[in-house]
Structure 1
Amino acid sequence: MEKKFKVENLKVAVFDGPDRMGQAAADFVANKLNRAIHQKGYANLILATGASQFTFLEALQKKEIDWQKITVFHLDEYKGISEDHPASFRKYLKERILDAVAPKKMYFLNGDANDIGREIRRYQDELKKHPIDVACIGIGENGHLAFNDPPVADFQDPKWVKVVALDEACRNQQLGEGWFPTFEDVPTHALTLTIPAILSSQSISCVVPDARKAEAVQNSLYGPISTVCPGSILRTHQDTALFLDTGSASGIKEIK
């Protein structure tokens, strides 16, 4: 099964399983990157992490893309976690794609920087120097985008990078996905790109598998456009594609 439809501006595609979903998202992202490279000679990319991105990243690294013309950023990182921590998003991206494809340049958020304020300014400055062609993101179980959980999400945030407190639902998701041994081990704070930073991207690929995300998907598509479910803001973006599997799409009325 593959079903496609739109909700306001948001293009939605539903696939039988996470593998086909990941392949479709990789096709979308590769096409956008290759078009940018053809038009201007380079491309700027944001990558996400987490269990939701496994099949997508595996498929993306097999695409015909000139990675030597691509600069890569990422969405977020835990505050106080070193790059060699098992849950580090820097470690995740290097191991799952970046070491294999060797991009032209990689900018990482250093969650364990000695001066977090300076680190945030550095990263925000680099983002603004490199207008993003494609942002690859997901939606959390609580509807978050990156680490913009409902209590801290701001659709008009003047900042592009900030430190945020992680809510209990977000921390439980990190525990449930197996990144930490106990809830107490899950960090309470993280560095994250804000929602305006994400929405500044020319195109957005949003990959959301698994039935545990079904409520967040339903709220993102049909709830109010509100920080109660930050994913709902994607309906306002000019070029976002939402890739789902049957589990994450199980609450959508169009496919009943």
Structure 2
Amino acid sequence: MKKIDLQKDNLKVEIFDAPDEMGQAAALFVAEKLNAAISEKGFANLILATGASQFQFLENLQKHAIDWKKITVFHLDEYKGMPITHPASFRKYLKERILDKVQPKQVYYLNADAPDVEAEVLRYENLLKEHPIDIACIGIGENGHIAFNDPPVADFNDPKLVKIVELDDACRKQQLGEGWFPTFDDVPTHALSLTIPQIMSCKAISCVVPDERKAEAVYNTLNAEISTACPATILRKHPETILFLDKGAASKLK
């Protein structure tokens, strides 16, 4: 496995030739963090992301010896009003790709189609407060977002842990481009998302970003001013984050 290591501020960067090698490395990092937490306190709390960027990582994570019966799982976001049966539902994605297979102790889903969505936001916030997160597994969007904190709604000092957000056009075009929806008009305009302070409060963060279409966002994450113009720049301030890239995503880096 060929690997290039970089660092910008606090943010460590590992670059691999192939997406599967990137996924293997991220899975090893996450498995080690989960096992260390279980060894230390008897349980672990985990946040998982979705999307095409997470395919290799989630596939490789299941190959590790992890006591899933001691792990509580949250996820980053879900489209507002979307039922779990919809092909693009992030809950459906996580159930089918990993959670139904590994059977964690507890999974807390963000039920964005709840009759009272404001009450659901508060419920999820309270659960997160009760379960400090040992490691969050995230990605970076083509517009530089983390979770659904697009530049227009991102707030580094957000008082909330979970909020309802409006998705910008760049984000919605990415969802269309990845094949989750048949037309742009079918892509939801709003979502429920964990906020940036909630993500930054996690003890460790694995950020997996494959594909050349993310190269501009990766370049900005590492080189732009730390600001909500590229929300992922805030990761440079986190004490224990690794950015895992394939050579496509790293193609604009020197």
Q: Where on the TM-score scale, by shorter chain, does this alignment land: which range?
A: over 0.9
- Give the equivalent residue in structure 2 for 1:180: 181
- Give the equivalent residue in structure 1 for 2:225: 224
In the alignment, the residues of structure 1 paired with residue 53 and residue 98 of structure 2 have an alpha-carbon distance, to the nearest angstrom, of 14
- Give the equivalent residue in structure 2 for 1:23: 24
> What is the 5 A alignment of 1:105-120?
105-120=106-121
- Give the equivalent residue in structure 1 for 2:60: 59
In the alignment, the residues of structure 1 paired with residue 20 and residue 111 of structure 2 have an alpha-carbon distance, to the nearest angstrom, of 31
- Give the equivalent residue in structure 2 for 1:11: 12
Report the residue type matching 2:95 in the other structure.
K
% identical equivalent positions: 70
In the alignment, the residues of structure 1 paired with residue 40 and residue 140 of structure 2 have an alpha-carbon distance, to the nearest angstrom, of 30
- Give the equivalent residue in structure 2 for 1:201: 202
> What is the 5 A alignment of 1:87-106?
87-106=88-107
CA RMSD of aligned residues (A): 0.4
In the alignment, the residues of structure 2 paired with residue 232 and residue 214 of structure 1 have an alpha-carbon distance, to the nearest angstrom, of 14
Task: Provide TM-score, normalisation by structure 1.
Answer: 0.98
Deviation at 1:5, TM superposition (A): 1.5
Report the residue type matching 2:195 in the other structure.
T
In the alignment, the residues of structure 2 paired with residue 155 and residue 104 of structure 1 have an alpha-carbon distance, to the nearest angstrom, of 32
User: Residue deviations 1:130-176, cap 9 Å, x none?
Assistant: 00000000000000000000000000000000000000000000000
Ranges in structure 1 where 5+ consecutive residues have no aligned partner: none
**1:163 equivalent in alignment to 2:164:** yes
Query: How many pairs align?
Result: 253
User: Residue deviations 1:175-230, cap 9 Å, x none?
Assistant: 00000000000000000000000011000000000000000000000100000000
User: Residue deviations 1:69-123, cap 9 Å, x none?
Assistant: 0000000000010000000000000000000000000000011000001000000
Q: Which runs of 4+ in 1 moved over 2 A?
A: none
In the alignment, the residues of structure 2 paired with residue 62 and residue 2 of structure 1 have an alpha-carbon distance, to the nearest angstrom, of 21
Secondary structure at 1:171 match in 2: helix
Report the residue type matching 1:3 in the other structure.
I
Report the residue type matching 2:89 in the other structure.
S
Report the residue type matching 1:167 in the other structure.
D
In the alignment, the residues of structure 1 paired with residue 119 and residue 136 of structure 2 have an alpha-carbon distance, to the nearest angstrom, of 24
Report the residue type matching 1:170 in the other structure.
C
Secondary structure at 2:34 match in 1: helix
